Amino acid sequence: MCLISFDNLEIKRNSVGDNMKILNLNLVASSGIAMGAAFIPTELDLTPAKHLITHPEVDTETSAFMDARDLAISQMQKMVENAPAQRDILTAHIEIAKDGSLLQGVLDKIRNDHKNAQMSLKEVEDSLAARFEVLEDPYLRERAADVHDICSRIMANLKGIPLKMYDNMEGDTIIVARELFPSDTSQMDFSMVRGFVTELGGATSHTCIIARNVGIPAAVGQAEILKEINHGDQLIFDGEKSLLLVNPTQHKITFYKNKMAKHLKRKESLKKDMHLPTVTTDDHKVEVWANVGSINDIESAMENGADGVGLFRTEFLYMENTAFPSEEEQYEIYKKGAELCQGKPLVIRTLDIGGDKSLPYYVFPVEENPFLGWRAIRMTLSNEQEDVFKAQLRALLRASAHGNIHIMYPLVISLEEFRKATVILNKCKMELEAEGLAYNKSIPTGIMIETPASVILAEDFAKEVDFFSIGTNDLTQYVLAVDRGNDKIAALYDTYHPAVLRSIQKVIEAGHKYGKHVGMCGEFAADQMATQILLGMGLDEFSISPVDVPLIKHSIREMSLKDAQNLATNALNFGTTKEVRDFLKEEGQAKL
Ligand code: PEP
Ligand code: MG
């Protein structure tokens, strides 16, 4: 077997005379195993015809553009009905199509610069997308792809080209493309699509979001992969080992067929009891909730048997908008979320922006250390942002009349912050009272434990808040002083570090001392090697991604609290990360 390197794509070629190639996938954004024929969509020629127009043509070009745009909107509205899993994304696209900057930009170019509709559209598309492309935040940068996608649809309509690239799919299919957009995925028949592999896109691209929503594996950012695969090649996508097998041998096919059958069996058995309570073999009950970022995710959480939502990251709502969302817009979304949860808790986190997350319509101050800077509760509590904070709190309070909403504040470091937030919340309550609007008068309010300060003051906080949720993603970076996004020190970022584990233990004990519920919404809650030790430490609630809910529920049901407590006591005695990890591995946790 020899190794060939193509930039960041490493290719192993078998020397045994068969055609099989094994490609290493470097960014598997949705895991799993899949098998199918490669489907490479044909690229449409959407190059705009460019020419200047005469005065009498202005009206014809204007109405051609308006018709193409209206058609795009109605096509997308239809797709919303046919592809409900992609509703959030498509709705955001409809908003871009309706947005004044696109419309006015194109009309100005046709009327004032006398450019034809196709040329005008392309120029406005590029300048709108450029505004996103320069942003630091990777999520927002990828929103440039949304602008290109919706504009391509309008362009196709202008050129009279039907968007039908996926009509010839047959049987199990793995889509291999340069990049995939919602206008692609919404055309696909998901009864046949088994996986995605794309050359472009990052972990927050739509390809990944859709793949995770529908539960299929996806690898993105695989430069040059189209040079290695032909339409119709047989593929095996092994997301667990980050491999893509091209034209596998019969031996490999049989091996993976067996593996997939085992996975399917396990998945089916997990499904059977995913809606049941999570009780250990010695009758200790815990909650398994879900982390969500949209209404779609809440639907998925409920379908996967989550007992509640432990973290609704509202920042996506703000990031996808063109201005701070109004109280009314937010109210409708939170109300819908509360209704979907049908009485189960829905913990909604107030705006957690700043640090690595920015907004396209707001200029953040330039800071030397953004992660230690003006972010999360610090921003929303500032006088400058009080209206933004109040709009969210009023929306949350009003929505609390329709379900079991809890309010959670991010990155709290002091009692003063929690108290100040409570004063503003009370102001909102009084306003609603005066306006005769309904809300839950005893709406629970809690904090995320993400900083050493909140760990050290955990008992003081426990006397005042209704609940804690431990945010291990940030807690790890702040306890260890290791930037969570810096690849160079990625090996130092380890939640199994004894200082982080003991922080978690201290918070759980402090919460329980005052009878408060303690959950965890950081990624550590979904780490299977950590499940037993967290259970043993007394964690009340694991809040994890919706698709992981059945598995974690199942794992906990096979454990006893007593064993878990013994394991936690032993693990917490070690002084080094390695000892903790080795111990947990030896105890067989990794095999769960
Ligand atoms: C965390 O910090 O653990 C957390 C859940 O918040 P986020 O990842 O959104 O910062
Ligand atoms: Mg956080």
pLDDT for res 84: 65
pLDDT, tens digit, for every residue of 186-209? 778 888 999 999 998 776 566 777
Q: Which two tokens stand for residue 433?
A: 């009272």
Cβ-contact 459, 510 below 8 angstroms: yes
Q: Of the candidates 91, 140, 137, 93, which has an alpha carbon nearest to the alpha carbon of residue 329? A: 91
Output the CA–CA distances (angstroms, integers) from residue 141 to 178, 331, 359, in the order listed.
18, 27, 11
- State yes or no: pLDDT of 116 exceeds 50: yes
Ligand 1 centroid to Cα of residue 189, in Å, is 34
The predicted structure's pLDDT at residue 205: 67
User: Distance (Å, rounded) from C-alpha 67 to C-alpha 543?
Assistant: 46
What are phi and psi for residue 23, nearest 5 degrees?
Answer: -100, 135
Distance CA 129, CA 163 (A): 22
C-alpha 493 to ligand 1 mean position (Å): 14
Active site members: 206, 521
- The pLDDT assigned to 210 comes to 76
User: Which pLDDT score is estimated for 587?
Assistant: 86
Number of other CB atoms surrounding residue 294 within 10 Å: 21
CA distances, 440 to each of 314, 383, 390, 407, 516 (Å)? 20, 26, 16, 11, 19
Return mean pLDDT, the chain: 89
Ligand nearest to the CA of 476: 1
Residues 477, 490: Cα–Cα separation, whole Å: 10
Q: Does any ligand 1 atom lie closer than 6 A to the CB of residue 521?
A: yes
Instruction: Band the pLDDT of 333: cuts 50, 70, 90.
Output: very high
Instruction: Report the distance separating Cα 120 and Cα 106, nearest Å.
Output: 5
Instruction: Please tell me the distance from the alpha carbon of residue 155 to that of residue 153, in angstroms, as a whole number.
Output: 5
- State the ligand closest to the CA atom of 521: 1
Model confidence pLDDT, tens digit, residues 468-518: 999 999 999 999 999 877 767 878 989 999 999 999 999 999 999 999 999
pLDDT in tens, 538-547: 999 999 989 8
For atom 3 of ligand 1, which residue has the closest CA?
471
Pocket test for ligand 1, best of 447, 450, 472 (most atoms within 8 A of CB): 450
**Ligand 1 in contact with 472 (CB < 6 A)?**
yes
| 247 in contact with ligand 1, CB cutoff 6 A | no
Q: What is the mean pLDDT of residues 208-230?
A: 86
Percent of residues, the chain, with pLDDT higher than 70: 93
Tell me, using a 6 A CB cutoff, whether residue 315 lines ligand 1: no
- In 178-229, which ranges are E strands? 193-198, 218-219
Residue having the nearest C-alpha atom to atom 8 of ligand 1: 473
What is the arithmetic mean of pLDDT over 301-328? 92
Res 588: pLDDT: 72
Ligand 1 pocket test: pick from 315, 521, 539 the residue with the most ligand atoms within 8 Å of its Cβ. 521
Q: Is the CB of 313 under 6 A from ligand 1?
A: yes
Nearest-atom number in ligand 1 for the CA of 522 is 3
Q: Which residue's alpha carbon is nearest to atom 1 within ligand 1? A: 471
Distance between CA 247 and CA 236 in Å, rounded?
8
Where is pLDDT greater, at 532 or 81?
532
Per-residue pLDDT at 10 exceeds 60 = no
Pick the atom of ligand 1 nearest to 469's CA.
5
Question: Residue 471 C-alpha to ligand 2 middle, in angstroms?
Answer: 6
pLDDT at residue 2 tops 70: no
Centroid of ligand 1 to alpha carbon of 293 (angstroms): 12
474 lines ligand 1 (CB under 6 A): yes
**How is residue 213 written in tokens?**
């929503």
21 three-state secondary structure: strand
Cβ atoms 455, 503 nearer than 8 A:
yes
Cβ neighbours, 10 Å, residue 208 = 23
Going by CA atoms, what residue is nearest to atom 6 of ligand 1? Answer: 471
Task: State the closest ligand 1 atom to the C-alpha of 474, by its place in the atom list counted from 1.
Answer: 2
| Per-residue pLDDT tens over the stretch 235-284 | 999 988 889 999 999 999 999 999 999 988 888 888 889 999 999 999 99
Classify burial at 68, counting beta carbons within 10 Å of its beta carbon; exposed 0-12, middle 13-18, buried 19 or more. Answer: buried
Nearest to 152 by CA among 311, 43, 62: 43
Q: For ligand 1, pick from 448, 500, 541 the residue to mutate: most ligand atoms within 8 Å of CB.
A: 448
Q: 359-387 burial, b if ≥16 CB within 10 A, otherwise e?
A: bbeeebeeeeebbebebbbbbbbeeebee
Using the 8-state DSSP alphabet, how is residue 48 labeled? P
- The DSSP output letter for 52 is B
Q: Which atom of ligand 1 is nearest the CA belonging to 450?
A: 2
- The model's confidence at residue 11, banded by pLDDT at 50, 70 and 90, is very low
Cα-flanking dihedrals φ and ψ of residue 526, to 5°? -100, 0
Q: Look at residue 4 in the predicted model and tell me its pLDDT.
A: 33
Q: Using CA atoms, how far apart are residues 25 and 225, in angstroms rounded to an integer? A: 10
When pLDDT is cut at 50, 70 and 90, the band that residue 214 belongs to is confident
The Cα angle at residue 270 between residues 265 and 274, in degrees rounded to 5: 155
Give 523 Cα–ligand 1 centroid separation in angstroms.
8
Which amino acid appears at position 344 of this protein?
A: K
Distance CA 301, CA 347 (A): 13
SS (H, E, C) 357-396: ECECCECCCCCCCHHHCCCHHHHHCCHHHHHHHHHHHHHH
Q: Note the pLDDT tens digit of each residue in 350-386.
A: 999 988 777 878 888 889 898 999 999 999 999 999 9
User: What is the C-alpha separation between 69 and 94, in angstroms, rounded?
Assistant: 10
Confidence of residue 164 (pLDDT cuts 50, 70, 90): low
Whether residue 7 has pLDDT greater than 60: no
- What is the token pair recorded at 294? 């949209």
Helices 57-82 and 143-159, packing angle to 10 deg: 120
**Which one, of 127, 113, 102, lies nearest residue 50 by Cα?**
113
CB 542 within 8 A of CB 311: no
Ligand 2: centre distance to CA 472 (Å): 8
Exposure letters 214-233 (e unless 16+ CB within 10 A, then b): bebbbbbbbeebbebbeeeb
Question: Which pLDDT tens digit goes with each residue over 15-71?
Answer: 334 689 999 998 887 888 999 999 999 877 889 999 999 988 999 999 999 999 998
Q: Which of 309, 350, 372, 473 to mutate to test the pocket of ligand 1 (most atoms within 8 A of CB)?
A: 473
> CA–CA separation, 217 vs 196, rounded Å?
7
Q: What is the tens place of the pLDDT at every residue in 414-465?
A: 999 999 999 999 999 999 999 999 999 999 999 999 999 999 999 999 999 9
Q: What is the largest CA-CA distance in the chain?
A: 84
Q: Which residues contact 235 (CB under 8 A, 6 or more apart)?
A: 34, 35, 36, 37, 38, 174, 176, 195, 197, 229, 244, 245, 246, 248
| Predicted pLDDT at 241 | 86
Q: Which pLDDT score, from 0 to 100, does residue 13 have?
A: 42
The whole-number pLDDT of residue 1 equals 29
